[in-house]
Chain A
């Protein structure tokens, strides 16, 4: 094995960024969709964990990793529908419902996931983009999962949809003003439910990526708050799907910092590096929030920025 010395750290961070960023990317795209329609779903963390369990279980039982991804997406739709329907009731607090569904998704995943901790499910395929390099570390870093590419395609598609299509316009109107949407003859609640359900599907797929590719096994500790960080990341990305790609890569890189330093023997303060993504998220939130003006680019009906 070629010894890269300290160069191994940036290479490992790059590879880690690509590997770790995929769940961030999917959850944040789902949350962009939900928030553009004017709701906030803090429960995506629970959806992600449940999606990870459902995806793993179905992939194991059916023998197909893609069946697992589909199952995770369906589970996400169900959680999204639940959130959307409950929040359509008057006087219900969407932030609190999100917290409750975070607990419910996590709890149900642990509850039904116990039998699947041991078995080995098929993994999602990866594309070897590092074939040109003779260095194993670079090859490992550039082994990219198909879902990462799907996520980038989704981000591009969503950006186009929000900007140039009728559906995008409807979403933006509903998100910016319930009254304007009603005046246009739209049904804000129905549209918000649909957006939340679709966002839930994205978060479910993010979970399937965790359990079926990286780290690639189902366990109770599978998520370390990626679903929650992705919600914060949406504020940083200014509700723009393309910015989500860059933000997800940045967060993925921060998440890969600890393991990368450990791989070259720097294990002191491992737990502090482990906290890097949370510190980064908090720092980004502090830098991008403002007490006086509404955050630029924020949908008008969003309770989080009011």
Chain B
């Protein structure tokens, strides 16, 4: 935008209070439109297969959001998804596409399970924070290493993080089938179950564990970090233009290390809550794909930690409904995966529409 155009736009803002609203609306209307288009496209696929899209979405609504029970199910699944999405959204503000949160989740969970066995006699008030810190630290190291490789060696962070996710899952399998295996776990290799005292409980009155509250707090804190602190401001500058940030003397290296490590710590916390609140021990269920759904959530939320909250709830509802739609409509188990992928593609395609509509650009309202 030229200075002149900017000045004109500012003058108009004074006259017309709708202008700032219109500018913000673009970032809400376009993703919502893309989401609706994606759902409609998936509906067409169902129609082509002779299934009813109306029945499908009605079932998704019923199983994901229809009853108190389904809300509890959805909210429980939302916690790891929120953490996983933050693991994508924070590095994304620096222009990094980190997609290996799954590795930090499984290793954070494994660390939690291993430490929990060790801390059996320690009072829970001390042991639980230690376990959470261990999970977060392992996650921070894992994704922070991706940031370090990017900064010091110029290694592409997208490929490196996904490779490290594979390595992390292999490492977890090695540990839970070997050194950390509970001999009593026959069919499903696991670590020794955590003692009841070291389990994270439910929020009073809800059938949802405390991980949800912590995840929501982390989302808000991340938003404050990005939008309201100098660190976040510096990160956004570096994300827009690394060279300009370096010329300005911004500590790009420390920002990359800090943001990737923080994202990884959140993913590690997801692993902590999966083990301490849901599974009760570290096992292969940790690799449930939360890390990959988190990528979609972060992109749908346009990497905004607050927008991540409603999007994660929506996606958690989709996942919660997966079993019911498969059984009722006789659909394959990959149905929700295809739905997510279609929505993902449409969301990314919608990137091309930003700035195309006069409606969202007040400075162009009165031309033509």
Contacts and interface: CB of A to CB of B under 8 A. Distances in A.
A104 B163 CA distance: 19
Contacts of A224: 166
Contact of A279 (B97, B152, B167): B167
Closest 3 CB pairs of A and B: A110-B334, A275-B170, A104-B341
Interface in B121-179: 149, 151-156, 158-160, 162-164, 166-167, 170-171, 173-174, 177-178
A165 interface: no
A185 interface: no
Contacts of B341: 100-101, 103-104, 106-108
Given A95-B97, A111-B334, A225-B166, 19 more contacts: A86-B345, A89-B349, A93-B97, A96-B299, A99-B99, A101-B341, A103-B337, A104-B342, A110-B333, A111-B332, A114-B332, A228-B162, A232-B159, A232-B163, A282-B164, A286-B153, A289-B153, A291-B151, A292-B154
B154 A291 contact: yes
Nearest to A105: B341
Give the residue among A90, A93, A100, A106 with the most B Cβ atoms within 10 A: A100
Interface stretch (A145-153, A168-176, A197-205, A266-274): A266-274
B178 to A, nearest CB: 7
B340 interface: yes
Contact of B163 (A272, A274, A281): A281
B356 to A, nearest CB: 9
A97 interface: yes
A268 B179 CA distance: 11
Contacts of B159: 42, 228, 231-232, 285
A101 B338 CA distance: 10
Contacts of A156: none
B286 interface: no
Given A103-B344, A106-B337, A107-B341, A278 B167 contact: yes
A276 to B, nearest CB: 9
Given A111-B335, A225-B166, A95 B154 contact: no
B240 interface: no
Contacts of A42: 158-159
Contacts of B162: 225, 228
A290 interface: yes
A272 B354 CA distance: 46
Nearest to A276: B170
A225 to B, nearest CB: 5
B261 interface: no
30 contacts: A42-B158, A91-B352, A93-B97, A96-B97, A96-B348, A97-B348, A99-B97, A99-B295, A100-B348, A103-B337, A104-B342, A107-B340, A111-B334, A111-B337, A228-B159, A269-B174, A271-B173, A271-B177, A272-B174, A275-B167, A275-B170, A278-B167, A279-B167, A282-B163, A285-B155, A285-B159, A286-B149, A286-B155, A289-B154, A292-B154
Interface in A86-132: 86, 89-93, 95-97, 99-101, 103-104, 106-112, 114
Given A97-B345, A111-B334, A291-B151, A278 B340 contact: no
A190 interface: no
B296, B332, B342, B345 pick with most chain A CB within 10 angstroms: B345
B292 interface: yes
A91 B166 contact: no
A249 B341 CA distance: 32
A108 B177 CA distance: 32
Contacts of B163: 225, 228-229, 232, 278, 281-282, 285
B334 A92 contact: no
Contacts of A292: 154
A104 B351 contact: no
B292 A103 contact: yes
B352 A89 contact: yes
A91 B348 CA distance: 10
Nearest to B166: A278
Contacts of B335: 111
Contacts of A268: 178
Contacts of A304: 156
Nearest to A292: B154
Contacts of B97: 93, 95-96, 99
B344 A104 contact: yes
Nearest to B152: A291
Contacts of B171: 271-272, 275
A104 B338 contact: yes
A271 to B, nearest CB: 4
Contacts of A99: 97, 99, 158, 295, 344
